[in-house]
């Protein structure tokens, strides 16, 4: 199920954070010239194909990752082997924060949509965080953001009927509220996010399509009927 893509294959080179197009919205937004000069370990940049694994639960955590584009799932496993997706990671997010506490990764991080990521050695982040209060505060923000997401998944995506859950997930996936555009995931993944079976996810999506709550514009790209989906979500 999970393809094996080594990092060497995906390596894009060494990032120059100072000229990073995303710098303003990313972890390092608060850094200044001096800070950047203290980055001796290289910050590698990768392009990761769908299905590849960024890190695995239990691995020794020595790197954090900022996502420049794309989507990943964080997966946890139950003793019986079934999987549950506990969060999505998207552009400008940081994942692997647990490294900062010397802990192993808590999830598998698997690519759902083609992803560009920068790999930050823990040592670098630790050092900069000590010297730059802005970066430090930004780290706390990320932690809280992850916590908010986790809570929202529990209350929104694991509560209510299958229809409600799917509707709430779709509304969360809308990238641009104006165009109401949205890319879907494999039904199996949607099930693992919502705590329902693959078949139920499929049936619900299919029904939404028939009701024109969901209109396919191109392969796997959809326009949403936001008002009516909201009605279903809150019903």
Per CB under 7 A, does 196 bind DNA? yes
Per CB under 8 A, does 101 bind a copy of itself? yes
Among 100, 162, 223, 226, binds DNA (CB under 7 A): 162
Binding string to DNA for residues 204 to 223, with x set by CB under 7 A, is what?
Answer: -xxx-x---------x----
Per CB under 8 A, does 103 bind a copy of itself? yes
Per CB under 8 A, does 227 bind a copy of itself? no
Per CB under 8 A, does 105 bind a copy of itself? no
Of residues 164-193, which lie at the interface with DNA (CB under 7 A)?
186-188
Per CB under 7 A, does 235 bind DNA? no
Alpha-carbon Rg for the chain, nearest whole angstrom, is 19
Among 50, 91, 127, 195, binds a copy of itself (CB under 8 A): 195
- Angle between the N-to-C axes of helices 198-210 and 162-173, in degrees from 0 to 180, rounded to the nearest 10: 70
> Which residues are near a copy of itself by CB under 8 A?
76-80, 82, 84, 86-87, 97-98, 100-101, 103, 106-107, 137, 140-141, 143-144, 146-148, 150-151, 153-156, 158-160, 195, 233-235
> Which residues are near DNA by CB under 7 A?
1, 161-163, 186-188, 195-200, 202-203, 205-207, 209, 219
């Amino acid at each position: 199920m999970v393809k094996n893509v080594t990092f060497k294959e995906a390596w894009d080179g060494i990032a120059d954070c100072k000229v990073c197009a995303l710098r303003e919205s990313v972890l390092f937004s608060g850094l200044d010239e001096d800070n950047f000069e203290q980055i001796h370990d290289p910050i590698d940049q990768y392009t990761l194909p769908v299905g590849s694994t960024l890190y695995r639960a239990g691995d020794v955590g020595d790197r954090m990752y900022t996502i420049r584009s794309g989507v990943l799932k964080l997966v946890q496993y139950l003793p019986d082997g079934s999987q549950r997706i506990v969060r999505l990671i998207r552009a400008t997010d940081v994942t692997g924060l647990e490294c900062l506490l010397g802990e192993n990764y808590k999830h598998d991080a698997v690519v759902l949509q083609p992803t560009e990521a920068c790999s930050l050695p823990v040592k670098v982040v630790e050092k900069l965080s000590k010297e730059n209060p802005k970066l430090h505060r930004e780290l706390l923000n990320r932690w809280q953001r992850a916590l908010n997401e986790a809570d929202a998944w529990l209350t929104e995506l694991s509560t209510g009927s299958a229809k409600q859950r799917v509707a709430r997930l779709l509304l969360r996936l809308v990238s641009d509220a104006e165009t109401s555009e949205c890319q879907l995931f494999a039904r199996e993944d949607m099930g693992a996010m919502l705590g329902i079976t693959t078949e139920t996810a499929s049936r619900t999506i299919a029904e939404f399509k028939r009701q024109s709550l969901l209109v396919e514009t191109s392969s796997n790209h959809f326009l949403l009927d936001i008002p009516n989906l909201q009605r279903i979500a809150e019903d």
